Amino acid sequence: MTNFRRIVLLATTLMVTPVMVSAEVVGKSIATINGEAIYMNDFENNWQAYLTQQQQTSSATVTQAWTNDSKSALLDQMIEEKLLLQEANKRKIVVPKRQLEEGVQQVKNRFKILPPGQRPTKQDFERPLTPAENAEFKKELKGQELSEIEFEQKINDQLKVVRLTEEEIRGKVGIPFKDDKGDETAQRELTGEYEKEAKALFDKIEGKFADKSYKPNPENEIDQMVEVLKSRLGEAVKASHILIRSIKSDDAKKRQAALEKAKQIKRELAGGADFDELARKNSDDSSARTGGDLGYFSKGQMVPEFERVAFALPVGGVSDVVETQFGYHIIKVDEKRASRKLRFDDVKADLAGYIYQKKMRDRFELFVGDLRKKAEVKILIDLKKTDKG
């Protein structure tokens, strides 16, 4: 649940699927912070937004224990946001009109309808909503029982908190790089403090690289960096593919048709057809629009059946039909990259960036913790009993 605890709080929970809230809980307080209430309907809206996000980005099973922990963390976040907004108002922080307009536009942009596969342009970001898009936006406001004025006030409040954190957190944590005097082509040099800290962190990472008994702990941030660096520095393949999608639950006739289509594409390739063109016309993967290009990937990033073939093919080689859980693939290897040695100079900027973010996160925790110590916070309801999760 660390994603609930952020240094910069943006309007990510606004404009989500409307939540039906029973009449008895509308307006019901679940907590008060210095006399200001957090209401059940606001909590439920945020909770449903988080659940939707989890369903889209995670395959983890939702258990009652996970639900209880997640709800507690969400309430903590809402308390923190209320404390931060109170502090921003106390300091009389004002959001410039232009910044507010940009914040409102950022949310409205989520309602813009673009052709499938088309990347948004600058003009797409800047244009107003069409009548149809605006109708969807207003429908969403109505579903969340918000007027446009109330919606803009929510954006304004969150931007006040962003400005407060910029002032209190980012402005008081030293940056990692020395002044490069505007020369963008020059290699940026770390300050002495960050150079020393980055080297100490590098030594820990290097030790794990060399440790033959090392087994990563997914919860450990240093182990996470070790795995990222192993992936980045290991042997890698740049490949393209054509996917004819077919899953094992499909009936036999549909599976056979997909296999025959993949075999026919392979025959066309053997006859001299252009791989990119066939990928654009036939592939069922999102990479079709770029000719099937998957970019570089290292071992462990693809399913085993795909990976084995991709790493075994020579540069320029095209595979036979390969079956995976996603269907039938034809793989073309475009480039290969040998594994590289872990070197401090190659990774020190990334390590310094991590250290910088950690310093800001730690300062944020101290700042919010201090606000909470001084505040009168009352929890008025047991969230475990609000529903079945």
Residues 19-43 have pLDDT tens digits of: 333 333 445 899 999 999 999 988 9
Helices 344-374 and 221-233 cross at an angle (nearest 10°) of 150
Tell me, yes or no, whether 71 and 103 share the same domain: yes
pLDDT of residue 114: 79
Length of the chain counted residue by residue? 389
Tell me, yes or no, whether 283 and 354 share the same domain: no
Q: Is residue 47 part of a domain?
A: yes
pLDDT of residue 307: 95
Residues 123-139 have pLDDT tens digits of: 888 899 999 999 999 99
Tell me, yes or no, whether 154 and 261 share the same domain: no
CATH number at residue 108: 1.10.4030.10
pLDDT > 90? residue 12: no
Q: Is residue 180 part of a domain?
A: no
Residues 160-177 have pLDDT tens digits of: 999 999 888 888 898 898
Tell me, yes or no, whether 316 and 368 share the same domain: no
Residue 146: pLDDT band (50, 70, 90) is confident
Tell me, yes or no, whether 374 and 250 share the same domain: no
Classify burial at 238, counting beta carbons within 10 Å of its beta carbon; exposed 0-12, middle 13-18, buried 19 or more: middle
CATH number at residue 271: 3.10.50.40
Residue 15: pLDDT band (50, 70, 90) is very low
Tell me, yes or no, whether 25 and 145 share the same domain: yes
Q: Is residue 46 part of a domain?
A: yes
SS3 content of the chain, % helix, strand, coil (to 5): 55, 10, 35
Q: Is residue 185 part of a domain?
A: no
Average pLDDT of the chain? 86
The Cα 248–Cα 250 span in angstroms is 5
Q: Give the lowest-confidence range in 215-219, 343-347, 380-384.
A: 380-384
- The dihedral over CA atoms of 112, 114, 117, 123, expressed in degrees to the nearest 10, equals -90
Q: Is residue 93 part of a domain?
A: yes
**How far from 349 is each of 188, 217, 230, 298, 334, CA to CA, in Å?**
8, 24, 17, 22, 29
pLDDT > 60? residue 243: yes
Tell me, yes or no, whether 17 and 166 share the same domain: yes
Residue 18: pLDDT band (50, 70, 90) is very low
Domain count, the chain: 3
Tell me, yes or no, whether 103 and 21 share the same domain: yes
Domain that holds residue 349: 192-232+343-358
Q: Is residue 179 part of a domain?
A: no
Q: Is residue 181 part of a domain?
A: no
pLDDT of residue 6: 39
Q: Is residue 178 part of a domain?
A: no
Tell me, yes or no, whether 140 and 207 share the same domain: no
Tell me, yes or no, whether 203 and 63 share the same domain: no
Highest mean pLDDT among 15-29, 42-56, 288-302: 288-302
Tell me, yes or no, whether 12 and 122 share the same domain: yes
pLDDT of residue 386: 60
Tell me, yes or no, whether 40 and 76 share the same domain: yes
- Max Cα distance, the chain (Å): 76
Mean pLDDT of 201-228: 93
